[in-house]
Structure 1
Amino acid sequence: MGSRSALSPFLFAVVKDGSTVSRVMMKSVMAALSVLTVNMFLSLFFPAAVSGDEADCGSVTPPLRITTPGMMEALSGSCLLIPCSYEPKDSTYDSSKTINGVWRRNWWSASNIFHSDGSVNIYKLSITGNLKDKDCTTLFPDLQTSYSDKYFFRIENALLKATACADSLQISVKDSAWSPSIKVSGDLKDLKEEESVSITCSAQTPCPHSPPELTWSLQQDSQRTEKNPDGTFTTKIQENIILSDTHDGDNITCSVRYPVDGGNRKKAAETNLTLSVSYAPKDTSASISPSSVVSAGTWVELSCSSRAKPPVRTFTWFWNIKPGPVLVSEGQVYRFNVSEGGEFYCVALNDLGNQRSPVVLLNLEGKEAFLLRALLSLKILGIVTLCTSVIVFECCFRFFNKPKKEPEEVLYENSVVEVRAS
C-alpha cells in the first residue's frame, strides 16, 4: 500500500523532457524504497506490530499454507507425531508430478533437516502422511531438549518450491513428564449423593506409537488412546460411579509413566484430586439424660446428633403418642420438666433431605413403677430367702445325719484261772 503511494507521483507526472522524467522516477523509487525499508525494520525489530504472515514472511505472500497445532510439546527420549496438512496457493502446483516434503528450522535458510527424497535426514524424521492427499503428518523420533525450536514445512513439486513461512510449528522438548489430568463429569464444586458421574484420568500422548501407562486408586480399567480434533492424541482411563456419602473426602490418585529411550526408562508424574460430596443427614440418633426412668418434676435433656453435608439446618423433636406424633420442640437439645412419659424422636434436616432417629423411651416413675419395683424387690427377697433356707437345711441335714461314734473295743489279756479244790 505504501509502495503504491510512493509511485503515484511518477504515474501522474506530466513532463516534457527526459531529464524531468528521470528526476521524477528517481524520487518515486527512493520513496518506495524508504517505505519498504521501514516495513522491513518493523518486521525485524517489532514483529508484534505486524501480522504473523508479515513477521515470518516479510513482504512475501505465502505460496503455501499448512495446518498443524502450531505449538507442540514433546518428551526427551520419546517421539512426536506431528499432525499436518497443506494447501498450495500457487497455480504451478501439479499433484500429478512428484511431491517432496521438506522440514527446515529456518524458513529462509536452505539448510534442510529433512527431505523426503532421502537426500537429507538429520533427525531421522519420516512423513507418515500421503503427500498426494495433502497430508504431511510427520513422525519426529527420539527428541532431545536441544531440538526445541521453530520449524517450517516446505513443498517441492515440479515448478513449485514453496515454504509455509507463515505457519511455523513451535516444538518444545521437556525433560520431565506431564502430570496427568483428573476430571469429573458435572460440576466438581457441587457433587451430590446418588449422582452418577464419570471420573477420567488422561495424559498427553505426543508419541501414540509408545503411549504412557496410567494407573490410579480407583478400580483399574483398560486404558485407551484417543485422537483429538487437532490430530494430537490423549491416553485415558475412566470409571463411572454413583456417588454416596462414603465418597466425600476420597482422595483419587492417578499416576502416569512415559516410556523413553526405547522403553528402557520411564518418566513418571502423579496427580491427586479430593472429592467433595454433599449428602442428606445420616446416622441420626437421640439420647436421654439423666436416665430413661425419672420421677415427675425431674428435668430431662434429650439430645439429637447427625452427620450431614451441608450441616443440619434444623432439628425437630416429636412426642410419639397414639393419635399421632406431636411437634414439641426445635433445636438440637430439648430440655423439659417431666410430667408425662412416652416415646420421643428427633428429625434432622438439611438442603438435601431429612432423617428420623430411632425412638427413645422415657418412663415416668409412678404407682405402676412402684408396684413393679416392689414386685422386683419381693422376687429378690424370695430368692434370697430360698437360698438361705437351702443353706440352713443343708447345714441341719449334715449335722443330724452325722454318723455316731462307735464305743472303743476293750481288749483283755487271756488269763488262766486255776481252781483249786480246797
Structure 2
Amino acid sequence: MSLRTTGSVLVVFLWSVTVVLCTNGWGVMYTTQSISALKGSTVNLSCSYMYPSGHTVTSTFWFINNDDNNNPVNLTDDPDYRGRVTYHNDKKNEHTLTITDLRKSDSLAKYKFRFITDQPIGRWTGEPGVTLSVTDILLQINPTSVSEGERVTLLCRTTYPLDPIPEYIWYKNKQPVTSKETKNTLILYTVTSEDAGNYSCAVKGRDDLRSPENTLNVIYGPKNTSVSVSPSGEIVEGSSVTLTCSSDANPPVDNYTWYKKNVTSPKASGQSYSITNIRSEDSGEYYCEAENLFGRPNSSTLFVAVHSSSQPITASSDQEHHNYCLYTPK
C-alpha cells in the first residue's frame, strides 16, 4: 500500500471516564480523567458544570498552579501557556480548554476547571481534574548496522501508550515508504544496500509530527565495479591515458589494484592508473580489483589498442564499446 496522509487532525487518545463531583447542586463533570497526546499536537479538555439557582457565573477558567496567595492562576495568564491556550463555551454550562503546540513540560499536570459566581461563596473547583500525558514518538532500528541479506526490525513507539492503538506510516530519507504494514513494527527481512538510509515514522494522520530520524547502515563488499578511460577524445601516441576504477562499497574501497590481462604481476595500485607516453606495446586488456573487508571483485576488462601507424587506436570493454582514438604521427 502506498502510504498516504490524511488532513491535519488532533492526535488525542482518551480514557473516557466521566467524573461527577456534586455537592448541594455544585459540581464539575469532566469528559475524561486522562488524555495522551503527541508532542507538538493540539488537545481539547472538556467539562460541564452545575450550580444552584440564584447564582450567575461571572468567570470560568482552567488552572494547574496557585499563586503565592494560594489563588488559582488562569492558564491564559500563565507564562508557560500564554498564547497557546484558548477557551470555548460550546453550550450552556459546558467548557473546553484547547492547548496547542503541546510540550513535554505540559505533561502529567492536573488540569482543573474553576468557575466563580456573583455570590460571595459561589466559587467551585472541579476535582481531581484531568491528567495530560504528552508523548514523544521515537523510532528504534535493531540492529542499526547489518550485512546484506540480514533482517532488520524498525519499531515506532511512544513514551506513553496511546489508546486506541493508532496506525503508523514510515519514511526513508524523508519520503514515504511503500508498505502494507501499519502497525508499529516494520520488518525488513532481507536487507540490501538499497535499504540503507535515514528512517522516521509518524502516527497516521499526523505526518507532520514525525519521529527523529534514525540511520540504517548496510555493509557490503564492492559491487558494480567498472573502468573508464580519459581523455575520451582522440589521443596521439606519446600522450597520456588515465584509467579510473569505480565501485560501490560500504565501507568504501580501501585498495584498488590494476592488472593487464595475461600479465601476472599488478601494473599499479590506486583508484586511477595513468599510462604516460603511451606506446603500441601498451596495447591490451586492463581491469581493476576493488577491495574492502567484505570482498575483492574484479571489474570487466577494458581493451586498449595502440597502433604505430596512422590507424586509429581504439579502446573497448567487454561490456560496452568506447571509441577512443590515438594516432601515430608519420
- Relative to the length of structure 1, the TM-score reads 0.39
Which structure's residues are more often helix, by fraction? 1
- Structure-2-length-normalised TM-score: 0.48
Of Structure 1 and Structure 2, the greater strand share is in 2
Higher Cα Rg, which structure: 1
